[in-house]
Amino acid sequence: MTRGRRPTKALTEAVEIAGKRGSVEMVAGRRSKAFDFLIIEPFRVVFVKVKRSRTSFTYPKEALDKYEREIASLHRVALTRVTAREFWVRSPAGEWQHFLIRHDSVIEVNADGTYIPREVLPLEAGNPEESTADGE
């Protein structure tokens, strides 16, 4: 059983975004299918599932928690060296988030499928010899 209406506006926008990456093939079938369309790139085929969300996600884990069933369904698609699985989410403000579904993780990617580098926060380790027991 699926939840909510089919994201027709989101699908239309998603196909436009996907067209910049390669040839797009829509998948006909039931509402509960694992993916909505394929992107045929020169070096791989990407299986894409599109959903709407009421909010944006700060971490990929939030998307995984909210759309566990849909991502689990997409995860059943065979993953090889020439295939990829992506889960795309559109917020009401029209913002898109794209997630690469791997065997053991979910990673946020750019619309073109490239990885988003994680921010490295500069942390300075204090010298324990300079501080006293009461923090002064």
Question: Residue 125: what pLDDT?
Answer: 58
Domains of the chain, each with CATH number or no CATH? 8-109 (3.40.1350.10)
Question: Residue 33: what pLDDT?
Answer: 84
As a whole number of angstroms, the distance between CA 68 and CA 124 comes to: 37
Question: Residue 129: what pLDDT?
Answer: 63
For 84, 100, 131, 135, the CA distances from 124, given in Å and listed in that order, are 38, 32, 14, 16
As a whole number of angstroms, the distance between CA 67 and CA 119 comes to: 25
Amino acid at 121: L
Instruction: Give the residues of the chain that fall short of pLDDT 50.
Output: 1-2
Question: Residue 105: what pLDDT?
Answer: 84
Whole-structure pTM over 0.85, yes or no?
Answer: no
Question: Residue 37: what pLDDT?
Answer: 94
